[in-house]
Amino acid sequence: MKHIFILNPAAGNGYAEKVLQPQIITYLKTTDLDYEIHRSLNKEEIGSYVRQRASAGEPIRFYALGGDGTLCDVANGAIGFPNAAVGVFPCGTGNDFVRNFTEKQNFLDTARQVAGKTVSIDLIKCGDTYSINMLNIGADCEVVARAGQLRGGSIAYLRGALEILPKGPRYRMAYCADDGAETEEDILLCAIANGHFCGGGFKSSPKASLNDGNLDVLIARPVKGFKLMKLLAKYRMGTHLEDPSGKEIITHFKTKSFKLRAIDKVNVSVDGEVFPFTEAEITSVPGAINFIIPDGSEML
């Protein structure tokens, strides 16, 4: 089996290249594994490279050395290739995807990674792009964008939230699930999830599952002041769906497909990467890729 480590040289302010890569190579040299290190040129190149290597048909594992965005790029290249499996050495800003597993430190252990098992997990399809973790639209997305400017890991997301949310942002959106009736209203944010976490540890989607074949959709309506701060605290802890006072603010449901249309100008965060958004039909793709779980870790 071939093991290919795809390095994002910008990840972790250079941590992936300067620290993680030498550690991985040091271990691999003690084994007889067939491996390569691929230094990515840009996010567009990653997907085409993975597709080209996977198309040979041999069993192959791709490990993303970067954040959730790099993992997403690798997953986009691997979809449609049952001979390929995807893993991640998390060294980005938020590293939210690995929070869906126990013993997160195992993801930085090369021996445990190459000995890891694979499981089939779902992806989210939005237009021509696939997401492995979550789509965030509205205030959530603006927080991600601001955190990218602030830098500083998970703390940057919290600082971004405290800066963006008190401004009382609202976005006019229209949406419907599974070809139902369309609803148009002002929202604060919309999270369409495969995994539980976003924003460097906010447990926004506590009922999501990586392999149930459903989208987990959460819509929050505009709120200010004390109600906002209370919602933010519960949103971070993952208890917001249990709060009776949140019923008037939050709508939550699972669905196979979800149509979303922006009436106001808005962006979407796809696994931490921000793009302009107009409208899309968003669907769950069950069992879309094989994901590598390091030895000693389990899916939550």
Q: What is the pLDDT of residues 194-216, one digit of tens each?
A: 999 998 899 999 999 999 999 99
C-alpha 3, offset from chain centre? 23
Q: Which of 274, 250, 254, 244 is nearest to 148 (CA)?
A: 274
Q: What is the mean pLDDT of the chain?
A: 94
Q: 135 Cβ partners below 8 Å, 6+ apart?
A: 124, 126, 190, 191, 192, 193, 268, 269, 270, 282
227 compared with 54, residue with greater pLDDT: 54
183/250 Cα distance (integer angstroms): 14
- Specify whether the CB–CB gap between 235 and 199 falls below 8 A: no
Q: Give the model confidence (pLDDT) of 13-70 as tens digits.
A: 899 999 999 999 999 999 999 999 999 988 889 999 999 999 999 999 999 999 999 9
CATH architecture of the domain with residue range 134-286: Sandwich (2.60)
Total-model pTM? 0.94
pLDDT at 155 over 90: no
Pairing of strands 215-220, 250-255: antiparallel
CATH, domain range 2-123+288-293: 3.40.50.10330
Give the start-to-end residue ranges of the domains of the chain. Answer: 2-123+288-293, 134-286
User: How many residues can be counted in the chain?
Assistant: 300
Which two tokens mark 181? 């009736």
Q: Give the model confidence (pLDDT) of 267-278 as tens digits.
A: 999 999 999 999
* pLDDT band, residue 162 (cuts 50/70/90): confident
Percent of the chain at pLDDT > 90 equals 79
The pLDDT of residue 225: 85
Cα separation values, 65 from 84, 88, 117, 123, 289, Å: 17, 6, 18, 20, 18
Ramachandran region, residue 211 (left: φ > 0; alpha: ψ -120 to 50; beta: rest):
alpha
116/222 Cα distance (integer angstroms): 43
